[in-house]
Amino acid sequence: MSPRKFHRVLFVCLGNICRSPAAEIIFRKMVDDAGKSVEFEIDSAGTMGHHAGAAPDPRMCEALSKKNYSISGHARQIEAQDLEKFDLIVTMDESNLNEVRNLDQKGRFHSKIRPLVSFCRNHSDLRVPDPYYGGQRGFDHVIHLLEDGCMGILEELR
């Protein structure tokens, strides 16, 4: 049997209280359900440090709880070292993608940085929209996109 590959996956959004913690929670459950938790390190971060230490947004917690996900995690800001450490850095929108690329001044890690929507099989959305200033339906839509993209990531890394 060939040795199993180990994958480090980091999800990134702006505040690390809505989209990327939800992606982390959804992807971790998918990996656990596939019996692959020993093969993955999964984390999330925000490009902005404003919410550092905060739990996920209550509206995102409500949307996740409706689908039986358990909530965990606290916000942190992405650091330049994360680019070195993680094998795959998954961004939610163009702004996150540009911010993360800007941390990679020499362009050494550009191939690791990919938009979540590039992994979606069933949605053609161009981004995972920021739900922060919208209503509860925006959070539900984010979860649908994240589930689609996370399944695509798991299949690609299989």
Per-residue tokens: 147: 């589930």
Q: Does 25 bind ligand 4NP (CB under 6 A)?
A: no
Least Å distance between CB 1 and ligand 4NP?
A: 40
* In contact, 90 and 32? CB cutoff 8 Å: no
| Piece of 12-20, 24-32, 77-85, 106-114 that binds ligand 4NP (CB under 6 A) | 12-20
| Piece of 10-18, 27-35, 80-88, 100-108 that binds ligand 4NP (CB under 6 A) | 10-18
Q: Does 28 bind ligand 4NP (CB under 6 A)?
A: no
Indicate the residue among 95 and 157 with the shorter CB distance to ligand 4NP: 95
Q: b vs e for 82-94, b when ≥16 Cβ sit within 10 Å of the residue's Cβ?
A: bbeebebbbbbbe
Residue type, 67: K
Indicate the residue among 56 and 154 with the shorter CB distance to ligand 4NP: 56
Measure the CA–CA gap between 111 and 46, rounded to whole angstroms. 19
Please give the radius of gyration of the chain, using alpha carbons only, rounded to the nearest integer: 15
- Number of continuous H segments (helices) and E segments (strands) in the chain: 5, 4
| Piece of 9-17, 32-40, 106-114, 117-125 that binds ligand 4NP (CB under 6 A) | 9-17
**Interface contacts to ligand 4NP, rule CB under 6 A:** 13-19, 46, 50, 130, 132
